[in-house]
A and B are shown apart, each in its own frame.
Chain A
């Protein structure tokens, strides 16, 4: 693979602005479990849904880490756990070396300024009764960063930065299209000048032509501001395009983590291989030459603990030991939590 690197996206290692070791956000052993009760009043059943079950990764300054996986794999809950929108059951989240899990609200606030979130649904995540100016300016008010004329100038600057015409300052969200609303959401997230933005399916509600506009905007902003993204999406094409590194989640865990190009060209985990083989390619002639890996059975439920590898029951290459030993994700550039394909997984 000696193709010339055409931009900073080509290869994370080649990107000049990304330092190798400095972890801006360090998540280790993050668990988010939801207790539940079901069954009848007389015969109740109690259990725990292990939505996120031991997720670890590092996000570097100015880097984009993609998280992919099918619905229910825990990718959104991971993001929510990081900023305490749901309380982590266990694990640690460090921002620039400072632990965030277990902090009281007052201590959390200055740290939370550094991490912002952009949501999937630009129709539901903006207050319909607030003008665009109010929406973008609210974080500035909450964190007491700017007031009066200064705040207004800052709002106008942010609008310009995300490609919104400053003339629309006093309009309401319903007057904007989906793509523009997502721009508003991004401007609001950027208002407090964060180091990290957690993006939960930020473009999946948008039409393709508009989606491309927003992806380009996000890449452009990263270049200008050096902000890091945790980019959660189910669209593998979008993630490949925007992410330097990609993690694949299955049943609450990251099963493979690698630089984007390696992950897509040389997937090591059998689940990643099956997932990639199932995505249709927008090219009928390329489509003909593809081999599908068909997985047996349905995705198992996260409401119980599995003795070995949680994927073993559906895995085409599982060995007897996979039923007993839980594979680990090694700390190396391209790691797969697979006993068969990664020697460092046991």
Chain B
């Protein structure tokens, strides 16, 4: 394997709250190769967004604390950098697109001003050159009449178009890594499909690595090469996309896949819901954090956390489970079920 573009090692992030220390990210490690798309999947509170905020140095401090870990970008550790150093990388070598383009774009600046601000700052080019490049970028993301649109304000664009502007902005310095945090959540399905096409196309042309943070497994199946499933601040399964969807090896991944209603299949029975709800990250119990909701859990699961373990018959696949779940299937509960509150 080649040298990864980014290598995250044992990242730990917590937030101080009135309720105690919330351990949002609890030892996350992964790497990403050039030209690869890695999906970071999980539900609210799984730590997927905080992981990436930490990499970008954007965790609000206080209340956030990056308690440990490294994020190696080449020889440099992003987590050990000063603000100024990080500022030179952020938006330049590593860029980010957010869920809601309206909050990420400045409503008082024209699209042109916002696009050229980034390139002038990071690439040191003059306004004329920056304008030319901005037009090229808008063309690339499929915004017609780009030269004229530079003078438009964000509110003059539709949701899908704003998302494109943000992608253009993120890509304008030709970053090595693009972090996309739920980029397709807000817009409609037809626009979502266009954005995924666009990202896939840009990756092929420029070899950008993409970290795709999403809760939508359809999006993951559509664009990701590898997938990491997160639960309660940890990665619980790591696998290539195709085998993960074919045969999930962690009970949570299995439950997650089974709880999606499929529009392309006749499934007329009740859905396989995962009973209960995610744990309170301020008051974690020892043992596996999925155990209270897991249909396969045994005594050992309540005491010892397995951590990510290699899977004997599948190379480069890891799952944080003591068991081979293939032998235990068919134990999911399918009723509406009562939720428990502590």
Which of A's residues lie within 8 Å of B, judged by CB?
A: 3, 5-10, 70-71, 163-165, 168, 175-177, 179-180, 183, 207-217, 219-220, 234-242, 261, 264, 274-276, 278-287, 292, 294-295, 298
Q: Which residue of B lies closest to A163 (CB)?
A: B338
Which of A274, A282, A292 is packed against the most chain B CB atoms within 10 Å? A282
With A216-B334, A278-B193 known as contacts, the answer to whether A209 contacts B267 (CB < 8 A) is no
B71 in the interface (beta carbon within 8 A): no
Interface flags, B26-49, vs A, CB<8A=1, else 0: 000000000000000001100000
B272 and A212 form a contact (CB under 8 A)? yes
C-alpha gap A71/B158 in the complex (Å): 12
Q: Which residues of B contact A208 (CB under 8 A)?
A: 43, 215, 217, 256, 259-260
B:266-323 near A, CB below 8 Å: 266-275, 277
Q: Which residue of A lies closest to B196 (CB)?
A: A280
Which of A8, A179, A240, A286 is packed against the most chain B CB atoms within 10 Å? A240
B328 in the interface (beta carbon within 8 A): no
Q: Which residue of A lies closest to B339 (CB)?
A: A180
Which of A210, A235, A264 is packed against the most chain B CB atoms within 10 Å? A210
Q: Which residues of A contact B44 (CB under 8 A)?
A: 207
Interface flags, B65-98, vs A, CB<8A=1, else 0: 0000000000000000000000000000000000
Q: Find A275's partner among B160, B189, B338 (CB 8 Å cutoff).
A: B189
B192 in the interface (beta carbon within 8 A): yes
Q: Which residues of A contact B159 (CB under 8 A)?
A: 71
Q: Which residues of A contact B242 (CB under 8 A)?
A: 284-285
Q: Which residues of A contact B335 (CB under 8 A)?
A: 216, 220
A6 and B218 form a contact (CB under 8 A)? no
With A6-B268, A237-B260, A292-B193 known as contacts, the answer to whether A279 contacts B218 (CB < 8 A) is yes
A279 and B268 form a contact (CB under 8 A)? no
B140 in the interface (beta carbon within 8 A): no
The 7 closest A-B pairs by CB, nearest first: A280-B218, A217-B336, A241-B261, A212-B259, A212-B273, A70-B188, A207-B43
Q: Closest Cβ of chain A: how far from B282's Cβ, in Å?
A: 15
Q: Which residues of B contact A242 (CB under 8 A)?
A: 261
B337 in the interface (beta carbon within 8 A): yes
A216 and B43 form a contact (CB under 8 A)? no
B255 and A209 form a contact (CB under 8 A)? yes
C-alpha gap A211/B256 in the complex (Å): 11
A280 and B219 form a contact (CB under 8 A)? yes
A295 and B338 form a contact (CB under 8 A)? no
28 contacts between A and B (CB under 8 A): A3-B266, A7-B269, A70-B188, A163-B336, A168-B341, A177-B277, A209-B259, A212-B260, A212-B274, A213-B336, A213-B339, A214-B336, A215-B271, A216-B334, A240-B261, A240-B262, A242-B261, A261-B266, A264-B263, A276-B263, A279-B193, A281-B221, A282-B220, A284-B221, A284-B241, A284-B242, A284-B245, A292-B193
A212 and B271 form a contact (CB under 8 A)? yes
Q: Which residues of A contact B260 (CB under 8 A)?
A: 208, 212, 237, 282
Number of A-B contacts (CB under 8 A): 158
Which of B's residues lie within 8 Å of A, judged by CB?
A: 43-44, 158-160, 188-190, 192-194, 196, 215-222, 241-242, 245-246, 255-257, 259-264, 266-275, 277, 334-341
Q: Which residues of A contact B188 (CB under 8 A)?
A: 70-71, 234
B218 and A216 form a contact (CB under 8 A)? no
C-alpha gap A177/B280 in the complex (Å): 11
Q: Which residues of A contact B221 (CB under 8 A)?
A: 280-284, 287
Q: Which residue of A lies closest to B243 (CB)?
A: A284
Q: Which residue of A lies closest to B334 (CB)?
A: A216
C-alpha gap A10/B268 in the complex (Å): 5
Q: Which residues of A contact B160 (CB under 8 A)?
A: 298
C-alpha gap A279/B262 in the complex (Å): 10
B189 and A279 form a contact (CB under 8 A)? yes
Q: Closest Cβ of chain A: how far from B184's Cβ, in Å?
A: 9
C-alpha gap A210/B190 in the complex (Å): 26
C-alpha gap A210/B273 in the complex (Å): 7
A282 and B262 form a contact (CB under 8 A)? yes
Q: Find A237's partner among B256, B261, B268, B269 (CB 8 Å cutoff).
A: B261
Q: Which residues of B contact A298 (CB under 8 A)?
A: 158, 160
C-alpha gap A295/B194 in the complex (Å): 10
Q: Closest Cβ of chain B: how far from A203's Cβ, in Å?
A: 10
Q: Which residue of B lies closest to A286 (CB)?
A: B264
Q: Find A219's partner among B192, B270, B337 (CB 8 Å cutoff).
A: B270
Q: Which residues of B contact A180 (CB under 8 A)?
A: 339, 341
Q: Find A287's partner among B222, B275, B340 (CB 8 Å cutoff).
A: B222
With A240-B263, A282-B217 known as contacts, the answer to whether A165 contacts B340 (CB < 8 A) is yes
Q: Which residue of B lies closest to A282 (CB)?
A: B217
Q: Which residues of B contact A241 (CB under 8 A)?
A: 261-262, 267, 271
Q: Closest Cβ of chain A: how far from B83's Cβ, in Å?
A: 34
Q: Which residue of B lies closest to A263 (CB)?
A: B263
Q: Which residues of B contact A278 (CB under 8 A)?
A: 189-190, 192-193
C-alpha gap A175/B274 in the complex (Å): 21
C-alpha gap A217/B335 in the complex (Å): 8
C-alpha gap A281/B193 in the complex (Å): 11
